[in-house]
Amino acid sequence: MSLWVADAGPLIFLAKLERLDLLTREDVRVPAAVMAEISAKADEACKRVEQAANAWLKVQEVGNRETVQLLLADLDLGEAEVIALAKEINANYVLLDDLDARRFARRVGLSIIGTVGILLAACLQGKIPSVREEIDRLQTHGFRISKSLAEEVLKAAGELDT
């Protein structure tokens, strides 16, 4: 079991797909600001994330508030807390979709995975039948993915039409 810190976006999108279970084999932490962001919304996906927080998802306060304040110059509060907490607890992965946040996390030495990466891994492990179907479903929920990334993921999954 590896240690992860998750941002709101990936949790909400996985919840919209009813795929939060793909994370249950990991020790997933959610900073308090991220959980507050999720709790502020009243849709079904956010309720699923809140249910997970009452079961296996762990909400954790960031200890180093100074680091969070410094990160706020470049990131929103949730992303700043994700990166600060990940560094603080020496997380194996951060679960982020926002491109700027991913770039920043990479620059400070964190290993990143996003919603699509979770789905690809699940497909390759036989946990879901098709990453293409899941990407299509994600897009109906407003998820944005570049054509080149989608093609790269579909190729890795063996689902790219040639």
pLDDT at 162 over 70: no
Q: Which two tokens stand for residue 108?
A: 């400070």
Q: Would you say residue 74 lies in a domain? A: yes
For residue range 107-119, list pLDDT tens digits in order. Answer: 999 999 999 999 9
Q: pLDDT class for 42, splitting at 50, 70, 90? A: confident
For residue range 65-89, list pLDDT tens digits in order. Answer: 999 999 999 999 999 999 999 999 9
Q: Which two tokens stand for residue 81?
A: 């807390």
For residue range 44-54, list pLDDT tens digits in order. Answer: 999 999 999 99
* Domain region containing 141: 116-156
pTM over 0.85: yes
Q: Which residues contact 77 (CB under 8 A, 6 or more apart)?
A: 33, 37, 68
Query: Do 120 and 109 have their domain in common?
Result: no
The phi and psi torsions of 112 (rounded to 5 degrees) equal -115, 145
Share of the chain above pLDDT 70, in %: 99
Query: Do 14 and 92 have their domain in common?
Result: yes
Query: Do 131 and 99 have their domain in common?
Result: no
**List of E strands, the chain:** 3-6, 27-31, 58-60, 93-95, 112-113
